[in-house]
Amino acid sequence: MVNIQWYPGHMNKARNQLEDKMNLIDVIVEVLDARIPQSSRNPMIEKLVGSKPHLIILNKADLADPVMTKRWQKKFTTKGKFVMALDSLHNTNMQVLVKMIKKAAAAKIEKLQQKGASSPVIRVAIAGIPNCGKSTIINRLVGRNVTQVGNKPGVTKGQNWLKTADNIQILDTPGILWPKFEDQTVGLKLAALGAIKDTIFSADDVALFLLAKLRKHYLNDLIKFARTSKEEIQNINDTDLLLALTEEYGMRDDYDRFSMYLLQRLRKGKIGRVTLDRI
Ligand SMILES: Nc1nc2c(ncn2[C@@H]2O[C@H](COP(=O)(O)OP(=O)(O)OP(=O)(O)O)[C@@H](O)[C@H]2O)c(=O)[nH]1
Ligand SMILES: [Mg+2]
């Protein structure tokens, strides 16, 4: 595969802006996509966090494989790290998250109380890759739509301080990616789930990658989607399967169009609860 140009220039700016604000922040909330907990982690965030309390949200848990989500949750829960799985689209009550933020900020809250603050306000930064649901979580925390949400990467353009009723100030940030993928499959996973623009990879490359993953880990979901039998799926390679599905779905030989359709079905959870990062 050719060397992919995928790192937008404004991401550097976004990262620097977050770095500049770090001395104001009490808790870092890192939002991951529960379907790719590893590939949606940004190695730069760990550096930014330093010794600050760090809360990791596995968001879009409603779309992820629940068995895998439990395993990732366990893996990320280490000393000083708070982890929770969340479906911020359907869940309007964020009290569990508020509690966890306050638990993570306990030392800071105590310090402020000792200084005489009767209702101490803590400051939280929400960070994560594009399209993982940062702004959705903030709207839920605030209780109304204060920041723009959209089903494509790069919706939030600048930083934004917002206030919740729970004495929490939140900094919404644009999605941040990292300058180099350690391997090409990370890029394919980000593309499959819509964290990077659809123009960066060709849709059929991403679709072929996805079909191989489904075949390996979610064969029953693939059989259902392909409206065929296990035997038939097992006797056909991924490229031929892509062509057969294109026809099956009435798109004749337009496998590009079908590839995009397949990705859209995946992103909406219509193929099944699929986790691409395995543990
Ligand atoms: N199914 C599901 N969809 C979600 C969840 N959280 C967010 N979404 C959807 O994901 C899309 C992206 O959400 P945003 O909140 O705009 O994501 P963001 O991280 O702020 O994105 P950028 O500003 O582009 O970095 C929207 O279509 C949301 O409705 C979730 O827990 N489950
Ligand atoms: Mg946003």
Which residue's CA lies nearest to atom 16 of ligand 1?
149
* Residue reference for tokens 């397949």: 262
State in Å: Cα 194 to ligand 2 middle: 13
What's the whole-model pTM score? 0.94
Question: Residue 150: which of 134, 131, 171 has the closest Cα?
Answer: 131
For the ranges 31-40, 158-167, 219-228, the lowest mean pLDDT is seen at: 158-167
Is the model more confident about 250 or about 165? 250
Strand runs (DSSP E) across the chain, as ranges? 27-33, 54-59, 81-85, 122-128, 160-163, 168-172
* Ligand 1 pocket, mutate which of 18, 136, 145, 273 (most atoms under 8 A from CB): 136
The full DSSP string for 121-140 is -EEEEEEESTTSSHHHHHHH
Asked whether the beta carbons of 204 and 255 are under 8 A apart, the reply is yes
How much is the average pLDDT of 32-60? Answer: 92
For residue 87, which of 263, 261, 273, 277 has the smallest C-alpha distance? Answer: 273
Q: How far, in Å, is the centroid of ligand 2 from the Cα of 151?
A: 10
Among 17-31, 42-56, 214-228, the range with the most confident prediction by mean pLDDT is 214-228
The pLDDT score that the predictor gives to residue 251 is 97
What is residue 225's predicted lDDT score, i.e. its pLDDT? 97
Q: At what angle do helices 219-226 and 203-217 cross, to 10 degrees?
A: 120
Max avg pLDDT among 60-74, 75-89, 169-183: 60-74
255 against 10, higher pLDDT = 255
Residue-wise pLDDT for 203-227, tens only, equals 999 999 999 999 999 999 999 999 9
Residue 2 clears pLDDT 50, i.e. is over it: no
CA of 174 to the centre of ligand 1 (A): 12
pLDDT at 121 over 90: yes
CA dist 15 and 159 (Å) reads: 11
| pLDDT value for 146 | 87
Distance CA 277, CA 193 (A): 12
Task: Calculate how far, in angstroms, residue 155's C-alpha sits from the geometric centre of ligand 1.
Answer: 10
| Pocket test residue of 17, 42, 140, 149 for ligand 1, highest count of atoms within 8 A of CB | 149
Ligand 1: which atom is nearest the Cα of residue 149?
16
Over 50: is that where the pLDDT of 122 sits? Answer: yes
CA 65 to chain centre: 14
pLDDT of residue 207: 98
In the prediction, which pLDDT does 4 show?
57
d(CA 198, CA 264) in angstroms, rounded, equals 11
Sheet holding 168-172, edge to edge: 81-85, 54-59, 27-33, 122-128, 168-172, 160-163
| CA R_g for the chain | 20
Which pLDDT score is estimated for 258? 98
Closest atom of ligand 1 to CA, residue 59:
31
Q: What is the mean pLDDT of the chain?
A: 92
pLDDT in tens, 152-162: 888 888 888 99
Ligand nearest to the CA of 154: 1
CA 262 to chain centre: 19
Classify strands 27-33 and 122-128 as parallel, antiparallel or unpaired: parallel
Percentage of the chain exceeding pLDDT 70: 95
For ligand 1, atom 29: residue with the closest CA: 89
User: Which distant-in-sequence residues (6+ apart) come within 8 Å of 205 by Cβ?
Assistant: 1, 188
